[in-house]
Amino acid sequence: MTRSIDARGARLTVTALVMALIVSIGATPAQAQSRDAARELQSAFREVAAEVLPVVVEVNTVNIVERRAVNPFEYFFRFPNSPQQEEPFEAEPYRQQGLGSGVIVERRGNTYYVLTNNHVVDGADEIEINLNDGRQFQGEAIGGDPLRDLALVAFETKEDVPVATLGNSDDVFVGDWVLAVGNPLGFESTVTAGIISAKGRNAQGQNFTDYLQTDAAINRGNSGGALVNIDGEVIGINTFIASTSGGSIGLGFAIPINNARRSIDDFIDKGSVEYAWLGVNMADLTEVLAEELDLDDEVGTFVHNVYGESPAMKGGILPGDFITSFAGRRIESADDLVRTVASLEPGQKVDVSLIRDGRETQIQITLAVRSIERDGLKVTVWPGFSAVPVTSELREQMRIPRNAGNILIGGVVDDSPASALGLRSGDVIKSINRRNVRNLKQFYDLVNAEDRMELKIVRQGHELEFILNK
């Protein structure tokens, strides 16, 4: 007897057989699907690790330092009250070893370039580059940037060496899978997995870059290694961890690769990184300043001082301006403006949106090159100090008489003309150019009205006069 089965019946029969097979091995359909997904992820991790490990190197450094060798006779038999010997009895060099990681980011001819952290190779007398396959090369520091903690090291070879694929860190989202690759604690070619925990993280004392935060395990020796996405593209350079114990607790931070792209070319072509310079001294708004200047609902950064002969001064930015947008990017804080300027090219013309006297204003600025002299405040700055309103709390706390004035000097810029004249934090400004200063708005109107200020201030009950020139 022949039994016919239609197509639908055939599909049902096959399904039934698959179901029976799954049940026979003790797994439900949902469990089988979960295992398949896990295998796919595992396969992806394997492929990424195989692709990235050859482009992440171990960076071994040696710093040769002098140390004093103790004279045992002097140590044990010197009289108790005799002076210390000023010159060392004997000096011998000491080889201080360091360890970090790096990423091969470019090749030009027979020269390969390794991007790492500046603190890994800073001051190193010897640099050795160890590849994942065991090959070793002597490295040479091409340039370092302590502001972003980046450095570039070069090594020469005619052999083929793989180069990393750089991704786009702006396309990274919180929750994305990432792998951290490096040499933690000397364990070479270590791969750890995690996710992007946060973007745009700030670090204390560092405002030239923001950071990607990850829970992928990062430890000492990982510095300079790669943070890569699921496609094997480098999206960050691992830099530091936050930890109470010194080990990884799931708080690792990497410099976004987009913040390092231009640095690579600058290192190779110029030997150092050129930063754009705006020339303002700014800070985030306090509640008191926001209320005084009617900026409660505004987001941006407040300009306290403008440097002489700077792009800001030449372009028309004034003390008291509130910058809301720069080069088409919304500015949310003082650090945000620093990072935005640092990401631009010297000589570039940019549009600036700001609020002045309650009105929105548009101006254009041509950025200049940031220099060490400017970092050291070797230029003039106007007016050279910040100003804050005298609140009732401040008046009571500092015992400021009501007839002394309504504006207080908050801070004085070091090495500025204002500092050289002797202006101090806590001085009360009574008048400018013989006009009493009623509030902060009037203060900035008077500051920006002329290039010369006759200041009458009250200090500990005494009136003093100063003359400041722009």
Looking from the CA of 172 toward its CB, the CA atoms found within 13 Å total 34
Domain presence at residue 197? yes
Per-residue model confidence (pLDDT) at position 72: 54
Residue 2 lies in a domain: no
Of 169, 189, 197, 223, the catalytic one is 223
Q: What pLDDT does residue 33 have?
A: 80
211-236, pLDDT tens digit by residue? 999 999 999 999 999 999 999 999 99
Give the pair of three-digit tokens for residue 313: 């001064």
What's 344's domain CATH number? 2.30.42.10
Our answer to whether residue 353 is catalytic in this structure is no
Mean pLDDT across the stretch 404-425? 93
Per the omega criterion (within 30 degrees of 0), is the bond before 383 cis?
A: yes
Question: CA 231, 264, 149 angle in degrees (round to 5)?
Answer: 95
Q: For residues 194 and 29, which has the higher predicted lDDT (pLDDT)?
A: 194
In this predicted structure, the answer to whether residue 16 has a pLDDT above a threshold of 80 is no
Percent with pLDDT over 90 in the chain: 73
Question: What would the pLDDT profile of 200-214 be if each residue is shown by its tens digit?
Answer: 998 877 778 999 999
Establish if 96 belongs to a structural domain: no
Residue 95 vs residues 61, 175, 259, 282, 452: alpha-carbon distances, Å: 10, 43, 34, 44, 57
> In the predicted model, is pLDDT for residue 427 greater than 50?
yes
Other Cβ atoms within 10 Å of 76 Cβ, number? 8
Answer yes or no: 265 catalytic.
no
Q: Which of 119, 210, 321, 427 is catalytic?
A: 119
185 within domain boundaries:
yes
- Does residue 327 sit in the same domain as residue 291? yes
pTM over 0.85: no
161 falls within a domain? no
User: Which listed residue (145, 149, 210, 427) is catalytic?
Assistant: 149
Do 363 and 339 belong to one domain? yes
What is the structure's pLDDT at 19? 52
pLDDT reported for residue 379? 61
| Residue 292, helix vs strand vs coil | helix
Domain end point (choices 342, 375, 408): 375
- For residue 241, pLDDT beyond 50: yes
pLDDT, tens only, 263-314: 999 999 999 998 999 999 999 999 999 999 999 999 999 999 999 999 999 9
Average pLDDT over residues 162-177: 97
| pLDDT tens string 41-54 | 899 999 999 999 99
Same-domain pairing of 358 and 440:
no
Residue 228 in domain:
yes
- 308 and 229 co-located in one domain: no
Count of structural domains within the chain: 4
Same domain, 262 and 282: no
Residue 27 pLDDT grade (very low, low, confident, very high; cuts 50, 70, 90): low
Stretch 306-330: mean pLDDT, rounded?
Answer: 96
Domain match, 264 and 280 both = no
Which pLDDT score, from 0 to 100, does residue 8 have?
A: 44
Q: Is 123 a member of any domain?
A: no
Domain boundary among 240, 270, 300: 270
Residues 6+ apart with CB under 8 A from 158: 110
Whether 34 sits among the annotated catalytic residues: the reply is no
* Residue 442 predicted with pLDDT over 80: yes
Which pLDDT belongs to residue 341? 95
Strands (E), 183-321: 190-203, 206-214, 226-229, 234-241, 252-256, 276-277, 280-283, 301-307
Q: Which of 98, 161, 88, 166 is nearest to 126 (CA)?
A: 98
pLDDT band at 370 (very low <50, low <70, confident <90, very high): confident
Q: Whole-angstrom Cα distance, residue 133 to residue 373?
A: 45
Same domain, 364 and 407: no
Higher-pLDDT residue of 416, 71:
416
User: Same domain for 266 and 280?
Assistant: no
Q: Which of 346, 375, 404 is the last residue of a domain?
A: 375
My answer on whether 264 and 292 are in the same domain is no
Q: Which helix (H) or strand (E) holds 92?
A: strand 90-108
Pair (397, 463) in one structural domain: yes
Which one has a higher pLDDT value, 434 or 71?
434
Q: Is residue 78 part of a domain?
A: no
What average pLDDT is seen over the chain?
88
Does residue 330 sit in the same domain as residue 419? no
pLDDT in tens, 69-119: 555 555 445 555 555 555 555 556 778 899 999 999 999 999 999 999 999
| Cβ atoms of 258 and 246 closer than 8 Å | no
Domain that holds residue 193: 173-270
pLDDT category of residue 26 using cuts at 50, 70 and 90: low
- The residue whose two tokens read 């016919």 is 4
Q: What confidence tier does 66 reach under pLDDT thresholds 50, 70, 90?
A: confident
351 and 400 in a single domain? The answer is: no
pLDDT at 71: 56
